[in-house]
């Protein structure tokens, strides 16, 4: 609570008759105290003198100033960590699962794994290659300092997890028939035309959100055009 160092009116604690009305009401004559100490200070004015209260105020303001300065010093480092994390995340999108139309994927197993790997990269900051080897390590989405980026990346993760679940349902229901799953020569048949449109639209939304984050961070856009066009034979 706001308290006066010298009383606001004659008869109050530590009243200074030499101050003007404006000076008594000014911030220079005020100090923030908790309710308990505000009462204690007025109950024992001989103990809590004007000089002591001014010293309290000076020390508190100095401590607050130092804390702010330390936060300012640390801010560039935290921002730099966010930027480096975004660069790692961007590498997770540099796979055919985010470049080709769903019906043009070479391997459905590779598509499924790429989406899952991207979720892991965004969530943990660990980027792996197709063989599972760690190629980059940074901070995960929950550790990002920038709240807006953290929320947008969280939405991207939600969209990708939805793709994973939809893919599992499609494979289990026969909407996608996969033969030789996981083998070098894998074939598939998509029996649900709308599934491909949904996959493309959902990935587009995820890429759009991530592109917004890259732009806000002043980073280059993803170095590829999503959903490359392949001629139909």
Q: Which two tokens stand for residue 68?
A: 């702010």
- pLDDT tens digits for 3-40? 888 888 888 889 999 989 898 889 998 898 888 878 88
Say if CB 126 and CB 174 are below 8 A apart.
Answer: no
DSSP state of 220: P
DSSP state of 8: S
pTM: 0.65
Beta strand ranges found along the chain (DSSP E)? 2-4, 30-32, 126-128, 134-137, 176-179, 187-190
Say if CB 213 and CB 152 are below 8 A apart.
Answer: yes
Q: Which two tokens stand for residue 229?
A: 């066009």
Q: What is the average pLDDT across 213-223?
A: 92
Q: Would you tell me how many other CB atoms lie within 10 Å of the CB of residue 81?
A: 16
Q: Kindly indicate the confidence band of residue 229, based on its pLDDT and cuts at 50, 70 and 90.
A: low
Res 148 pLDDT > 50: yes
Mean pLDDT, the chain, integer: 87
Q: What is the model's pLDDT at position 231? A: 44
Q: Kindly indicate the confidence band of residue 153, based on its pLDDT and cuts at 50, 70 and 90.
A: very high
Res 233 pLDDT > 50: no
- 58-72, 122-136, 197-211: the lowest-pLDDT one: 58-72
- Specify the higher pLDDT residue, 78 or 1: 1
Domain ranges of the chain: 2-70, 82-216
- 9-23, 140-154, 176-190: the lowest-pLDDT one: 176-190
Q: CB-hemisphere CA count at 13 Å for 41?
A: 26
Q: What is the model's pLDDT at position 70? A: 61
Q: What is the average pLDDT across 181-195?
A: 84
Q: What is the model's pLDDT at position 225? A: 72
Res 195 pLDDT > 80: yes
Res 182 pLDDT > 70: no
In whole angstroms, what is the distance from residue 156 CA to residue 162 CA? 10
CA angle 109, 229, 204 (to 5 degrees): 65
Place of tokens 């939600």: 158
For 181, left (φ over 0), alpha (ψ -120 to 50), or beta?
beta
């Amino acid at each position: 609570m706001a308290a006066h160092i010298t009383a606001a009116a004659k008869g109050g604690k530590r009243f200074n008759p030499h101050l003007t009305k404006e000076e008594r009401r000014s911030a220079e004559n005020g100090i923030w105290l908790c309710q308990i100490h505000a009462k204690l200070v007025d109950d024992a004015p001989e103990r809590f003198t004007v000089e002591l209260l001014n010293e309290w105020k000076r020390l508190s303001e100095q401590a607050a100033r130092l804390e702010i300065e330390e936060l300012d010093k640390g801010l560039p480092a935290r921002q730099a960590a966010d930027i480096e994390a975004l660069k790692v995340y961007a590498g997770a999108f540099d796979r055919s699962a985010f470049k080709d139309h769903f019906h043009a994927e070479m391997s459905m197993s590779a598509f499924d794994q790429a989406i899952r790997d991207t979720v892991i990269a965004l969530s943990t900051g660990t980027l792996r290659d197709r063989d599972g080897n760690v190629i980059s390590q940074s901070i995960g989405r929950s550790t990002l300092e920038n709240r807006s980026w953290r929320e947008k990346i969280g939405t991207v993760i939600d969209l990708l997890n939805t793709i994973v679940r939809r893919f599992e349902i499609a494979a289990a229901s026969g909407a996608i028939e996969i033969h030789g799953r996981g083998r070098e020569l894998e074939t598939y048949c998509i029996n649900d035309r709308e599934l491909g449109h949904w996959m493309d639209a959902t990935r587009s939304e995820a890429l759009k959100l991530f592109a917004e984050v890259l732009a806000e961070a002043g980073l280059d856009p993803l170095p590829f055009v999503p959903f490359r066009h392949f001629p139909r034979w």
